[in-house]
Structure 1
Amino acid sequence: MGRKKLARFKDNEENENVIQEGKSIFEEIKGNWNKKQFENEHPIVVELACGRGEFTVGLAREYPENNFIGVDIKGSRIWKGSTTAIKEGLENVAFLRTQIELLDRFFGKDEIEELWITFPDPRPRDGDEKKRLTSPRFLEIYKPMIKKDGIIHLKTDNTGLFDYTLEVLKERDDIKDLGYTDDFYSSEYKNDHHGIKTRYEAMFSEKGEKIKYLKFRFDN
């Protein structure tokens, strides 16, 4: 392992906005994000597969009245968002280092106001369907932790994942307010992402690839 990566891992151990295994708060945070991490009662917005945290940090800059949590398993990626937030004095940002399939270990019932799934791995092989972050398996993980009328968003450049997700959602009887477009920046939804682009999204857009987007609520 390179020296740079080791240094980043050490920073993560010390940075209070990184929640990861080995810290006492890691085992105590479920249902307690506002109390133990943010020390306020502001709404919680979560980004899955947040990578370097550009979107999570960008939202936190724009909306200081909310709390934002980026989730990713890659510590060296989380380090970037964590250190940026600290340098900018953003106290409404945190990062959770864990696998997304374990998300229900870290969020209690009705704890999340809004959930963003931004450019996840599309897992195109048929055998990987259960690993897609919009599969029925994952939707059942998210559902209890999303507040009544909370919103879930998906942004992707991958047509296969987008079409698959629409099919999954339209087959369910617990989905409402489904809105979608296969050309985000030419649609009525273009302001839903608050003008914040990740490095990957900018790269996709520069190549001329259309960004797909959808949002929905659980009818519960």
Structure 2
Amino acid sequence: MARRKLAHYQFSAEASNVIEAGKPLYTEIKGKWNNLYFKNENPLVVELACGKGEYSIGLGKVFPEKNFIGMDIKGDRIARGSLVASESKLLNVAFLRAGIQYAREFFDENELSEIWLIHPDPQVRDRDENKRLTNPLFLKMYSDFLKKGGQFCLKTDSSFLYDYSLETIKASGLFKIFEHTEDLYDSHLIADHHDVKTHYEQIFTSKGYSIKYIKAVAL
């Protein structure tokens, strides 16, 4: 396993679609994703805690007119997504290896059109609220990155995180909850699914869990 991870890390270090520490763009990309990387003015969409980037890759195929950035700290996971994106010739998909808590180092205010958060760890213990990716501090950061009217979307199998997120998003005053559902697959919002199902989502649904979904827009 260690040898496989090392191979993944080496792949990321050499992959042109992975931005990570040690590469020039890592310290230069903030506010310049369109100019320095994608070389176009298409809308920027970020998938936070992207894992292997399944959602970014899936949406990248559906929306060639948008640019997608999968962000995660796990280099071995990003390497897998990088390989799939490269083999699929998806020039509109890139990966950023960094912790979400450092996102302000890579994205500027009003730079993004959408942020997706797909099945993050719900961090159910009270002492771990600071790690929940929909806590007030993270929401403030997302609202800064998003253009006015930009979308923040959450998919989760966790009823706890769904309820918590509805509460924090409403209380923040930074977003308007546009739509939400406790069962995406049995909702008119299924169109937002775009037929993209991650590995973990397949596991959750096979066990009978419903997928909760929140779509909010930045004020």
What are the superposed Cα offsets for residues 61-86 of structure 1, whole Å, 9 maximum, x if unpaired?
A: 11111100000000000011100111
> What is the match of residue 106 of structure 2?
106
Q: 1:177, 1:162 → 2: CA distance?
A: 13
Q: 1:117, 1:97 → 2: CA distance?
A: 16
Count of residues in correspondence between the two structures: 219
Q: 1:97, 1:207 → 2: CA distance?
A: 31
What are the superposed Cα offsets for residues 145-188 of structure 1, whole Å, 9 maximum, x if unpaired?
A: 10110000000001111111111122233322431111110112
Q: TM-score, normalised by structure 2?
A: 0.97
Give the CA deviation at 1:22. Answer: 0.7
> What is the match of residue 3 of structure 2?
3
User: 2:175 is matched by which residue type in structure 1?
Assistant: I
Q: Which secondary structure does the structure 2 equivalent of 1:191 belong to?
A: helix
> What is the match of residue 126 of structure 1?
126
> What is the match of residue 60 of structure 1?
60
Give the CA deviation at 1:193. Answer: 2.1
> What is the match of residue 196 of structure 1?
196
What are the superposed Cα offsets for residues 103-146 of structure 1, whole Å, 9 maximum, x if unpaired?
A: 11100111110010000010110011111000001011111110
**1:35-54 superposed matches below 5 A:** 35-54=35-54
Q: Which secondary structure does the structure 2 equivalent of 1:45 belong to?
A: strand
**1:57-206 superposed matches below 5 A:** 57-206=57-206
Give the fraction of aligned pairs with identical amino acids, expressed as a percent. 49
Give the CA deviation at 1:189. Answer: 0.8
Q: TM-score, normalised by structure 1?
A: 0.97
Q: 2:44, 2:212 → 1: CA distance?
A: 24
Give the CA deviation at 1:218. Answer: 1.9
Q: 2:101, 2:24 → 1: CA distance?
A: 21
Q: 1:171, 1:109 → 2: CA distance?
A: 21
> What is the match of residue 14 of structure 1?
14
User: 1:150 is matched by which residue type in structure 2?
Assistant: G
Q: Which runs of 5+ in 1 are unaligned?
A: none
Q: 1:76, 1:173 → 2: CA distance?
A: 37
Give the CA deviation at 1:33. Answer: 0.5
**Do the aligned partners of 2:47 and 2:115 also contact (CA within 8 Å) in 1?**
yes
Q: 1:144, 1:170 → 2: CA distance?
A: 16
Q: 1:50, 1:105 → 2: CA distance?
A: 18
Q: 2:168, 2:211 → 1: CA distance?
A: 19
Q: 2:172, 2:44 → 1: CA distance?
A: 26
Q: Which secondary structure does the structure 2 equivalent of 1:40 belong to?
A: coil
User: 2:193 is matched by which residue type in structure 1?
Assistant: H
Q: Which secondary structure does the structure 1 equivalent of 2:193 belong to?
A: coil
Q: Which secondary structure does the structure 2 equivalent of 1:84 belong to?
A: helix
Q: Which runs of 5+ in 2 are unaligned?
A: none
Q: 2:79, 2:174 → 1: CA distance?
A: 37
User: 1:157 is matched by which residue type in structure 2?
Assistant: D
Moved over 6 A (4+): none
Give the CA deviation at 1:6. Answer: 0.9
